[in-house]
Structure 1
Amino acid sequence: MSAFRPRGPRNVPPKSAEEIDELVRKMRGEQQRPENYREKSLKMHGWICAKCGREFELSNLHLLTVHHKDGNHNYNPPDGSNWENLCVYCHDDEHSRTILADYLVGKDKK
Structure 2
Amino acid sequence: MSFRSRGPRTVPLKSAEEVDAIVRKIRDDQTRPENYRERSLKLHGWICAKCGREFELSNLHLLTVHHKDGNHNYNPPDGSNWENLCVYCHDDEHSRTILADYLAGKDKKS
**Identity percentage of aligned residues:** 90
| Residues 28-86 of structure 1, C-alpha deviations (whole Å, 9 max, x = no match) | x8xx97x7000000000000000000000000000000000000000000000000000
Change in CA separation of 1:109 and 1:75 when aligned onto 2, cut-off 3 Å? farther
SS at match of 2:38: helix
SS at match of 2:35: helix
Structure-2 residue corresponding to 1:62: 61
Q: TM-score, normalised to structure 1's length?
A: 0.67
- The yes-or-no answer on 1:72 pairing with 2:71 is yes
> Any gaps of 5 or more consecutive residues in structure 2?
1-17
Q: 2:102 & 2:42 partners in 1: Cα distance?
A: 36
Q: 2:96 & 2:107 partners in 1: Cα distance?
A: 15
Change in CA separation of 1:51 and 1:38 when aligned onto 2, cut-off 3 Å? same
SS at match of 1:71: coil
Larger CA Rg, structure 1 vs 2: 2
Matched letter for residue 99 of structure 2: L
CA shift for structure 1 position 108: 3.2
4+ runs deviating over 3 angstroms: none
Matched letter for residue 92 of structure 1: D
Change in CA separation of 1:105 and 1:56 when aligned onto 2, cut-off 3 Å? same
Change in CA separation of 1:88 and 1:109 when aligned onto 2, cut-off 3 Å? farther
Tell me the C-alpha RMSD between the 2 structures: 2.4
Structure-2 residue corresponding to 1:44: 43
| Residues 5-41 of structure 1, C-alpha deviations (whole Å, 9 max, x = no match) | xxxxxxxxxxxxx9xx9xxx7xxx8xx97x7000000
Paired residues in the alignment total: 82
Q: TM-score, normalised to structure 2's length?
A: 0.67
Structure-1 residue corresponding to 2:52: 53
Q: Equivalences for 1:1-110 in 2 at 5 Å?
A: 36-108=35-107
